[in-house]
Structure 1
Amino acid sequence: MLSAEDVSRIADELAEADRTHSVIPRITARYPEATVEDSYAIQGVWRDRMVASGRRLVGRKIGLTSKAMQQATGITEPDYGVLFDDTVYHSGDSIPVDLFSNVRIEVELAFVLARPLEGPDCTLDDALAAIDYAVPALEVLNSHIELEGRTIVDTISDNAAYGAMVLGTEHRRPDEIDLRWVPGVLSRNGEIEETGVAQGVLGHPATGVAWLANKFHQHGARLEAGEIILAGSFTRPMWVSQGDEVRCDYGPMGVIECRFI
């Protein structure tokens, strides 16, 4: 495992990379002994420094919850990161592309909790009962670590490569719609690039919410009422550049549109 000094040093590197929108060498290339526990320690130090600087935590993201994403990254287990208030956009917004590095888009559903959710034995039914509503979302990936050869240790340390999210306008309670069959048709500049269905996320997009509650219990924590949980992509990531118009059709849950400037 890494020393506290190494953890702090890497968190500093990632904070500087975030500030300058740059990329650092792979952590696992420099510290091959680094573990998943080390990566969450790095993320935790970085998160606490962001909160201390005035950023407000509004939720959590879960990643690598579908075969599509696991195959795209070569990583075979879920991970999680944190969402800050200044990273939330809405359908119709223009998003400055130079805020991010290695910019890609993923198709997801997000959930807002009506009440706290706690492990250790949280089930899908428990998660559905705790959810206030689901809303379509696009995740903007923002990788500050070189992509080639990266492992889950690199990704988790980098706040699981989260950059921002774009929320839709349709809100649905879990009892109003079968969330497993929500589609996603992702287009760039009018051309369809990726398609998927929400059941591709662990069999049900809210399964990851239960997984995260159980994971948090291991660290003596829980998910809180009002938190946004970004549940994981059911398409492969799509690269975007300045000037791209992005549109995703979620069928009965509406459309998200945004532009990268």
Structure 2
Amino acid sequence: MSTPPDRVHADAVPPAVAKAADVLAEATRTRAACPPVRTFFDDGDLTSAYAVQQLNVRRGLDVGRRIVGRKIGLTSPAVQRQLGVEQPDFGTLFADMAVPDGGEVAAGRLLQPKVEAEVALVLGRDLPDRECTVVDVLRAVDFALPALEIVDSRVQGWDISLVDTVADNASSGLYVLGGTPVPLTGIDLRAVTMTMTRHGGTVSEGSGADCLGGPLNAAVWLASALAERGDPLRAGDLVLTGALGPMAPAAPGDVFEARISDLGSVRVGFAKEGNER
């Protein structure tokens, strides 16, 4: 599994990083969205944004949360256009973010959720090299699954720049995995097609090629980026490779289902108001 980030003494954290992390953590705690945190940094300061993300990841580990993998965000041109950004990012997945296939998200658990369909990969080998290749990823992947990522933003009205979403753990919320592992033998992930419905009506369509040219390309990007940071992907890690099509907003009572050719389907519902738990 992923190696937990090194712990940093409080006095080593720049004040702006600590302040932005506090603002996002408070929004998570109170379920009240906050203003953008990009005002704390120079425009485009991704180093500080990732430092904010990692500070809140460490805080999660301190209270007993368990890291199970990583997500890649902003891989789909459609999603990049929706959010006004131009490059991918990554965030951390915790075990308590998982929702069972066919399960229901409690009302009020998230602030302003949106749903996107993705290919999930589960690794059977480490990916330690800074210059990772598609062959490395193919050898490392144990199996694939269809997935729904329920993204969320602690920032009011999704008024985000790349700095905001990076700091906010790549706008992570929850995720849902299909239940049938599929080996990649004989499957071209670039060619898979995706249809996502809400109450049976199509709300998003796309293909594997819409994810950085293919989910394996996205995984290569992530593996290289994490190895460069000294925190590489490890055997057992879950990787959400990024959206295959546009996001769709979720409201109480909604039911989403995604079908990805060669991989199967995955489904999730959102409880109606008053069904908090």
Output the TM-score relative to the length of structure 2.
Answer: 0.89
**Deviations 1:123-158, CA, capped at 9 Å, x for gaps:** 111111111011010000110012454210000000
SS class of match (1:126): helix
Amino acid at match of 1:153: V
Q: Distance in 2 between matches of 1:126 and 1:30?
A: 38
Report if aligned partners of 1:61, 1:82 keep a CA contact under 8 Å in 2.
yes
Identify the range of structure 1 (224-233 vs 60-69) with the bigger mean alpha-carbon deviation: 60-69
Q: Which residue type is aligned with residue 101 of structure 2? A: S
Q: Which residue of 1 aligns with 2:265?
A: 255
Q: Which residue of 1 aligns with 2:154?
A: 144
Which residue is equivalent to 1:175? 185
- After superposition, what is the alpha-carbon deviation per residue over 1:29-72, rounded to whole angstroms, capped at 9, x for unaligned? 45445610000000000000001111000000001112111111
- Shift in CA distance, 249/148, structure 1 to aligned 2, threshold 3 Å: closer
Question: Distance between the aligned counterparts of 1:215 and 1:97, measured in 2?
Answer: 35
Match of 1:185 among 195, 213, 229: 195
Normalised by the length of structure 1, the TM-score is 0.95
Q: What aligned pairs does 1:1-261 form with structure 2 within 5 A after superposition? A: 4-33=14-43, 35-147=45-157, 149-261=159-271
Where in structure 1 do 4 or more consecutive aligned residues deviate above 3 Å? 29-34
CA distance in 2, matches of 1:172, 1:142: 28
In the alignment, residue 136 of structure 1 is paired with which amino acid?
P
Q: Is the 8 A contact 1:127 1:207 kept in 2?
A: no
Change (3 A) 1:30 1:41: closer
Cα distance in structure 1, aligned partners of 2:186 and 2:179: 16
The separation in 2 between residues aligned to 1:147 and 1:156, in whole angstroms, is 16
- Report the Cα distance in structure 2 between the residues aligned to 1:114 and 1:166, rounded to whole angstroms: 20
Assess, with a 3 A threshold, how the Cα gap between structure 1 residues 34 and 10 changes in structure 2: closer, same or farther.
Answer: farther
**Contact conserved, 2:123 with 2:238, CA < 8 A, in 1?**
yes
Name the aligned partner's letter for residue 152 of structure 1.
L
Q: Which moved more, 1:238-247 or 1:118-127?
A: 118-127
- Code of the residue aligned with 2:70 in structure 1: it is R
Amino acid at match of 1:9: K
CA distance in 1, matches of 2:239, 2:231: 15
Cα gap change, 1:25/1:189 in structure 2, threshold over 3 Å: closer, same or farther? Answer: same
Query: SS of the counterpart of 1:256?
Result: strand
Contact 1:119/1:216, CA 8 A, preserved across alignment: no
In structure 2, what is the Cα distance between the partners aligned to 1:165 and 1:58?
A: 12
